[in-house]
Homo-oligomer: A and B are copies of this chain.
Amino acid sequence: MSGMSDVKCSSCTLGSCAIYTLSSNELEDMELNTCQAGYSKGEIITKQGTPLNSVIYLRSGFVKEFMWHESVADQVIQLIKPRSYIGLKGLYTNSSSVFSYQAITNVEVCFIEKEVFGRIVRGNGNFGQEILIALSKESISNHKRFLNLNQKQIFGKVAGLIIYLSEEVYESSLFELHLKRAELAHMIASTRESVTRALKWFHNEGIIQMKKNTVSIEQMERLSEIAKRG
């Protein structure tokens, strides 16, 4: 967790849509109860079970939301893209984090105290609306992954995963894979080896191109066909 020069919320260029709805008073309220931090690739931001009295705003970088599951290997729930809130869904539950969050690139975040956050939601319906929108979008995005898991064949699941990463996370047909094979596998209830084989096959067929860890989708049509039919 590396230090960094603090940016005021009011002058932040990486803020959420939501903060544009805030009055200067509200903004100041938030500023006073927010603290900024940087993490480098690989660092854990919060661990499940740990107290967490903040909503975390991801200014830049990508974060992995996951759980360490008893016997089973870690389960990756989703990847979070920059300019989104982390752990919003925990805002109104208990004070300890349900999930763990890890920086998968270098990352800048802000910790906003839950209490202030809630106060502002209650006081400013427009802010609430924006948060509601954010949460809805996350929810729908997760549903897509969910549906993908109902696909039985791994090739279909891997194809769906690539599409998810491209559309919901990296928002580009060209992106770097920040997760290793085993983690990708854990996102679709499969194994490292099976993911390797699927990616290799897609590559050989010219459906995607992979050099190093950079994926480029070449034939989206075929890819989504595979994601649908298996």
Contact = CB atoms under 8 A, between A and B. Distances in A.
A129 B133 contact: no
Interface of A: 67, 69-72, 75, 77, 88-93, 98, 118, 121-129, 131-133, 135-140, 142-143, 145-147, 149-152, 186, 189, 228-230
Contact of A121 (B67, B132, B135, B146): B132
Contacts of A152: 189
Contact of A125 (B121, B136, B146): B121
A89 B129 contact: no
The count of identical subunits is 2
B140 A89 contact: yes
A72 B135 contact: no
A92 B71 CA distance: 39
Nearest to A187: B150
A116 to B, nearest CB: 13
3 pairs of A and B residues whose beta carbons are closest in the complex: A128-B128, A122-B125, A89-B139
A136 B75 contact: no
A153 to B, nearest CB: 11
Contacts of A128: 121-122, 125, 128-129, 131-132
Given A129-B128, A147-B75, A229 B70 contact: yes
Nearest to A128: B128
Contacts of A230: 72
Nearest to A152: B189
A19 to B, nearest CB: 15
Given A72-B150, A122-B129, 17 more contacts: A67-B147, A69-B147, A72-B151, A89-B139, A89-B140, A89-B143, A90-B136, A92-B129, A92-B136, A93-B137, A118-B129, A132-B132, A135-B136, A139-B139, A139-B142, A142-B146, A146-B149
